[in-house]
Amino acid sequence: MVLHQQPLKEKIAHAIFRLSTQQSKLEHTSARLRQRDQELFQRCIGAQVSKDSAHAKICANECAEIRKIAKIVLASQLSLERAVLRLQTVEEFGDVLVQIAPVIDVVKETKSQIAGVVPEVGNELEEVNSMLSDMSLETGESEDTSFETIVNNDEARKVLDESSAIAEEKIKEQFPKIPEMDQIPNKLILVPDGAEEIPLEEAIFSYVRDHSCEFSLSDCASSLGVSDDDVRKTMVRLRDEGKIRLD
């Protein structure tokens, strides 16, 4: 019986499909991590407003752990995207560009990073890497000199470092910074006529709106019965929320 080997181009296409599938899984995991972080973030803010520092700290610490995991997942997702792009180039220009060793190194390192976070993806990447190694043997890359191997490893490390740096920036954009307890002066105060208690932020916003032409920080603090520092911090928060403009 004669065994027919699967054409190299088909194997590359299959590898691209499997890597893209894992990339999609990581994207879904990233979305779930963001959702979980948002839930804990709101609980943390609620605990801070209630001056419950113990629960605020617990939620803040959990958010920090989630963000560490989210960075690993996002960096792995970006690395796989680079690997897929390289394989697509190899697939299209296979006659003149058959080197896939850098892809093997990227997938191998990505597997090491993600295995402890999403084991299912780690196992799949292990199998894909084995398939890529077999393809490397078929193309004769196993005969590369040690110098060329070092170059490939350097290229793979560069891809991983760039992915990690991009992930770091995206995490800062996607996950809001948790403020410290003393940065949230949202306590309730009595309005000047003593009729009811309202949040400090609401009271200061109303005061700024009514005294926009002749606003004085000390007069505002005195009128509301709070410290100048409380007024200053609240106004900065109102500015960051886009509710007022500080000239």
Can you tell me the distance from the alpha carbon of 88 to that of 21, in angstroms, rounded to the nearest whole number? 15
Residue 114: CB atoms within 10 A of its CB come to 26
- Residue 145 token pair: 């000199």
Residue 96: CB atoms within 10 A of its CB come to 6
Can you tell me the distance from the alpha carbon of 77 to that of 71, in angstroms, rounded to the nearest whole number? 10
Burial-class residue 106 by CB neighbours within 10 Å (0-12, 13-18, 19+).
buried
The CATH T-level fold of domain 185-240 is: Arc Repressor Mutant, subunit A (1.10.10)
State how far Cα 90 lies from the chain centre. Answer: 30
Delimit the domains of the chain by residue range. Answer: 8-174, 185-240
Q: What are phi and psi of 27, to 5 degrees?
A: -60, -40
Can you tell me the distance from the alpha carbon of 231 to that of 201, in angstroms, rounded to the nearest whole number? 9
State how far Cα 57 lies from the chain centre. Answer: 21
What three-state secondary structure class fits 185?
A: coil
The per-type count for the chain, helices as H runs and strands as E runs, is: 8, 2
Would you give per-residue pLDDT tens digits along the chain (247 residues)?
Answer: 334 456 778 888 899 999 999 999 999 999 999 999 989 888 888 777 777 778 888 888 899 899 999 999 999 999 999 899 888 888 887 654 456 778 888 898 899 889 888 999 999 999 998 888 887 776 665 444 443 444 456 777 787 788 888 888 888 888 877 766 555 445 544 455 545 567 777 887 888 788 777 778 788 888 877 777 777 777 777 777 777 776 6
- Residue 237 token pair: 């928060």
